[in-house]
Amino acid sequence: MARAVGRRRPSGAPGHRRQGRAAYVFLSPWLLGLALVTAVPLGASLYLAFTDYNILSTPRFTGFANFERMLGDDRFWAAASVTARYVFISVPLQLAFALLLAVVLDRGLRGLAFYRGAFYLPSLLGASVAVAILWREAFGHNGLVNSVLGWVGIEGQSWLQNPATALSTLIVLNVWTFGSPMVIFLAGLRQVPEELYEAARVDGASWYRRFRHITVPMLTPIIFFNLILQTIGAFQTFTQAHIISGGTGGPVDSTLFYTLYVYQQGFKSFDMGYASALAWVLLLVIGGVTALHFFLSKYWVFYGDD
Amino acid sequence: MGNLDRRTFLAAAGLGTLGATGLLSACGTGGGSGTTIRYAWWGNNVRQQRYTEALEEFQRDNPEITVQPEFAEYTAFQERMTTQMAARDVPEIFWIASPQVMTYEKNGLYRSLSDIPTLDLSDFSDADIESFSLNGEFVSMPHGVFVPVVRYNETFLEEDGIELPGEDWTWDDLSEFLIDYSAENSAGRRAASYNPDQDMAFEAWLRQRGQDLWTAEGAMGFDSEALAEWFEWWRVLMDAGALLTLSEQEGMQPDWAAVGGDILLNFGSSNHIIDDAAMYPENRFRLRSAPVASDAADGHKFLYYPRLAVYQGIDDADVEAAGRLIDFNVNNADFLRTVGLTMGAPPNPRLLTEAYDFASDDEIEMLAVVEADREFDQRPRHEAPPGTNTWREALSRVSEGVALGETGVSEAADALIAEIQTGIDREA
């Protein structure tokens, strides 16, 4: 320890500065990427949000016109409604399912590694084109779901072409990709001190009471972490809706996710100014919801050092 | 990390930069001293392979010209074009998706074709060139001709022992036939798919009523009443069980490979028979011109031209090479023989005659129906104005609402017209 301290150079020493420069050089690809691929486009889109820009001609400054337009845009409200329903239904369902499975798997099943991998697989594939196509086929008129229903005498319909059920199938798809939060929950469960459970058992606490009063409170930081991640991800859902609805958000806008609408405005209608304004509204909403989560977390998230 | 001195680091960085520069240089030049022309088109795998082959033939005949093919599926093609336009990196020659023709024109994306010496226009009459022009300028070249048709499965008709109404059929005749067929055919087939968003059939419907899809001034040429009647014509068929439901056809864009064996006929463009018939080789498909209203307006027949253009930002030194490639595309029978007729009948009248020599049965069916429609006097047709890029998607969406009973036909017609008008006003 004494040797290590003795070897430490003062922060302004030439060797330290040289290492600092080398570190920045190695960081430079990421820094360049941040600047060129993220920061500059972000700034540009903020500017474009206040313009009328059709890609082919010079942007024309229009002040807040794009934001005012949203207020009277029925499809904007349809997209906001679809996305809000999706976020507020699919995220809690997904987290509940992930937590349930994590608790079951944490009970020392044989072949745990296999189950963990098997359950995690859909998360890896969840946002992919392949899984979206698989979903489209499974829930189609002649798909797997209707075939199974047919075995019990129920004549199905295309779940994706009925406005009443189309969004639900996408919610089910999102819930199915519970593997990622489940793995994080599993890691969190391993951190819960065993002596708490032992003490509860000695006091005669049932499984439910142990879960309710030990597992859940001890996992609240993990639940909070998963909630933030999954909420942000759900707001940005695009691929599944694009593939399953053929990019239309149909039937009759029932799967018109917000990002899909942004995409339609930008890349199909060439209304890039409006699309930029829409994107910034989404960013602000995600920021607001995340801030709200953080604010509310002090009432329900339990950290060990509290 | 601690062992990395400045000299070693700079040497490594220098070598890395040198290597990367060399690599990028090698990628960029292509190694030749001639002209490179990027040619962008869309389609399916078969078209991609055939056009690639034709472009290779062109390069063999013109070794000083390198053609860089840029192919994509139709939707992806348009999205890529959007990105390329934003980056001012548009291919020298590109096909134009129909909703974008006038949007691109308004924004000066096209270079004039009238002064390219290597593009031979001697096969075309002045009237042809006039009809190809946009706002009086010859800036895009048709590379095909489509007409609206009804395509029917002749094998099914023969199996069912049923005949279509006569060649002079009206919309009412067709409607009655479709309802009767669905009710009576022995195989339990539906007569057709739900397809009111088929733009060419809709345009035929409008022109027979003396209206147009678009006017020369860049406005909508139809009214809410005509549109509502169109929706009503389809709604009656849907209610009578003559059409596939949206559930059965999996949405507004039914996959022909999935539904083609379940229906007797459908509306479409004349060229689609070539790819679509190939999916059901055991069946014989035939084409008919769209029905004609008994009081149809004069000159209602029309030809639709898919177009290609030269990018206005092309280097002057590359213009003649681009002209030569377009010339090969629109004037050369060898080109047609290689690519086939999936993009419709050739607009070049000489090639239209020659094409019969090598056309397949399905292609001959298509050539004949186009040739028949060409014989009619036709009043001018105008392309979709700027701001209407997504009018077909909007038509599809409101049609979907009608089929699902979410919207009445008049309400749907008013909503569509308002949406299209908003787009036009915004661009004005």
Q: Check if the beta carbon of residue B339 is closer than 8 Å to that of residue B51.
A: yes
End-to-end CA distance of chain A: give it in Å, rounded: 32
CA–CA gap between residue A209 and residue A211 (Å, rounded): 5
Which two structure tokens, joined as six digits, stand for B14?
Answer: 């220098």
DSSP state of B100: G
Which two structure tokens, joined as six digits, stand for A118?
Answer: 């098997």
pLDDT in tens, B191-229: 999 999 999 999 999 999 999 999 999 999 999 999 999
Identify the CA nearest to B236 among candidates B182, B277, B304: B182
B375 vs A111, residue with greater confidence: B375
Percent of chain B's residues with pLDDT above 90: 84
| Residue B4 with chain A: CB contacts under 8 Å | 22
| Residue A157 with chain B: CB contacts under 8 Å | 247
Identify the CA nearest to B110 among candidates B78, B139, B77: B139
Minimal CA separation from B56 to chain A, in Å: 32
pLDDT given at position B2: 44
pLDDT given at position A204: 92
- Chain A positions touching chain B (beta carbons under 8 Å): 18-19, 22, 25, 52, 54-57, 140-141, 157-158, 160-163, 245-248, 250-253, 264, 267-272
| Residue B426 with chain A: CB contacts under 8 Å | 52, 271
- Alpha carbon separation from B194 to B104, B191, B259, B403, B414 (Å, rounded): 32, 10, 11, 8, 21
HEC-encoded secondary structure of B403-416: HCCCCCHHHHHHHH
| Residue B107 with chain A: CB contacts under 8 Å | 54, 56-57
Task: Select from A22, A57, A248 the Cβ nearest to the Cβ of B107.
Answer: A57
**For the residues B400-427, what does the mean pLDDT come to?**
95
DSSP 3-state of A133: helix
Report CB contact under 8 Å: A141, B248: yes
Report CB contact under 8 Å: B427, A54: yes
CA–CA gap between residue B250 and residue A89 (Å, rounded): 26
Name which of A17, A161, A169 to mutate to probe chain B: the one with the most chain B Cβ atoms within 10 A of its Cβ. Answer: A161
CA–CA gap between residue B197 and residue A81 (Å, rounded): 27
Query: ipTM exceeding 0.95?
Result: no
| Residue B13 with chain A: CB contacts under 8 Å | 25
pLDDT given at position B24: 42
Q: Does B392 touch chain A (CB under 8 A)?
A: no
How buried is residue B40: exposed, middle or buried, by Cβ count under 10 Å (0-12/13-18/19+)?
buried
| Residue A248 with chain B: CB contacts under 8 Å | 251-252, 393, 396-397
Minimal CA separation from A158 to chain B, in Å: 5
Q: Which residue of A has its CA nearest to B415?
A: A74
pLDDT given at position B18: 47
Q: Check if the beta carbon of residue A112 is closer than 8 Å to that of residue A190.
A: no
CA–CA gap between residue B211 and residue B382 (Å, rounded): 12
Q: CATH number for the B148-300+387-427 domain, one of 2.40.340.10, 3.40.190.10, 3.40.640.10, 3.30.70.260?
A: 3.40.190.10
Name which of A267, A272, A274, A276 to mutate to probe chain B: the one with the most chain B Cβ atoms within 10 A of its Cβ. Answer: A267
Task: Select from A54, A158, A250 the Cβ nearest to the Cβ of B252.
Answer: A250
End-to-end CA distance of chain B: give it in Å, rounded: 61
Task: Select from B4, B248, B426 the Cβ nearest to the Cβ of A22.
Answer: B4
Which two structure tokens, joined as six digits, stand for A34?
Answer: 């941040």
| Residue A247 with chain B: CB contacts under 8 Å | 75
Q: Which residue of A has its CA nearest to B88?
A: A56
Biggest CA–CA distance in chain B, Å, is: 91
pLDDT in tens, B301-358: 999 999 999 999 999 999 999 999 999 999 999 999 999 999 999 999 999 999 999 9
Task: Select from B107, B247, B390 the Cβ nearest to the Cβ of A268.
Answer: B390
Phi/psi of residue A290, nearest 5 degrees: -65, -45
Q: Check if the beta carbon of residue B66 is closer than 8 Å to that of residue B97.
A: no
CA–CA gap between residue B404 and residue A251 (Å, rounded): 9
pLDDT given at position B30: 40
**For the residues B139-153, what does the mean pLDDT come to?**
96
Sorted by where each starts, the structural domains of chain A and their CATH numbers stand as 77-300 (1.10.3720.10)
- Alpha carbon separation from B276 to B98, B144, B281, B287 (Å, rounded): 21, 18, 10, 12
pLDDT given at position A6: 46
CA–CA gap between residue A247 and residue B180 (Å, rounded): 35
| Residue B404 with chain A: CB contacts under 8 Å | 163, 251-252
Task: Provide CB contacts within 8 A for A116, sequence distance 6+.
Answer: A105, A182, A183, A186
* CATH superfamily, region B33-145+306-374: Periplasmic binding protein-like II (3.40.190.10)
Q: DSSP of A182-202, one letter per residue?
A: HHHHHHHHHTS-HHHHHHHHH
CA–CA gap between residue A177 and residue A182 (Å, rounded): 9
Q: Which residue of A has its CA nearest to B89?
A: A56
**For the residues B242-257, what does the mean pLDDT come to?**
93
Size of interface A-B (CB pairs under 8 A): 79
Minimal CA separation from A245 to chain B, in Å: 8
Q: Which residue of B has its CA nearest to A15?
A: B2
pLDDT in tens, B114-123: 999 999 999 9
Angle at B425 (CA atoms; ends B424, B428), nearest 5 degrees: 85
Minimal CA separation from B428 to chain A, in Å: 12
pLDDT given at position A9: 56
Name which of B90, B400, B419, B427 to mutate to probe chain A: the one with the most chain A Cβ atoms within 10 A of its Cβ. Answer: B400
Q: Does B4 touch chain A (CB under 8 A)?
A: yes
Residues 113-152 (B) with a CB less than 8 A from some CB of A: none
CA–CA gap between residue B190 and residue B178 (Å, rounded): 8
How buried is residue B408: exposed, middle or buried, by Cβ count under 10 Å (0-12/13-18/19+)?
middle
Which residue positions in chain A have pLDDT lower than 50?
Answer: 1-6
Banded pLDDT at B7 (limits 50, 70, 90) = low
pLDDT given at position B166: 93
pLDDT given at position A306: 58
DSSP state of B112: P
Q: Does B87 touch chain A (CB under 8 A)?
A: no
Whether the CA torsion A221, A227, A228, A230 is positive or negative: it is positive
Residues 317-336 (B) with a CB less than 8 A from some CB of A: none
pLDDT given at position B109: 93
Q: Check if the beta carbon of residue A272 is closer than 8 Å to that of residue A248.
A: no
DSSP state of B283: S
Q: Which residue of A has its CA nearest to B407?
A: A252
- Decide the pairing of beta strands B148-153 and B190-192: unpaired
CA–CA gap between residue B144 and residue B345 (Å, rounded): 5
pLDDT given at position A177: 85
pLDDT given at position B23: 44
HEC-encoded secondary structure of A68-106: HHHHCCHHHHHHHHHHHHHHHHHHHHHHHHHHHHHHHHC
| Residue A162 with chain B: CB contacts under 8 Å | 247
Report CB contact under 8 Å: A252, B406: yes
Other Cβ atoms closer than 10 A to B223: 13
Mean residue pLDDT across chain B: 91
CA–CA gap between residue B173 and residue B181 (Å, rounded): 12
Report CB contact under 8 Å: B247, A141: yes
Most confident of A46-50, B22-26, B84-88: A46-50
Asked whether the predicted pLDDT for residue B28 surpasses 60, the reply is no
Where does CATH 3.40.190.10 sit in chain B? 33-145+306-374, 148-300+387-427
CA–CA gap between residue B330 and residue A50 (Å, rounded): 44
Banded pLDDT at B145 (limits 50, 70, 90) = very high
Residues 256-315 (B) with a CB less than 8 A from some CB of A: none
pLDDT given at position A2: 42
Task: Select from A157, A247, A251 the Cβ nearest to the Cβ of B400.
Answer: A251
Report CB contact under 8 Å: B397, A250: yes
DSSP 3-state of A230: helix
Q: Check if the beta carbon of residue B8 is closer than 8 Å to that of residue B38.
A: no
pLDDT given at position B21: 43
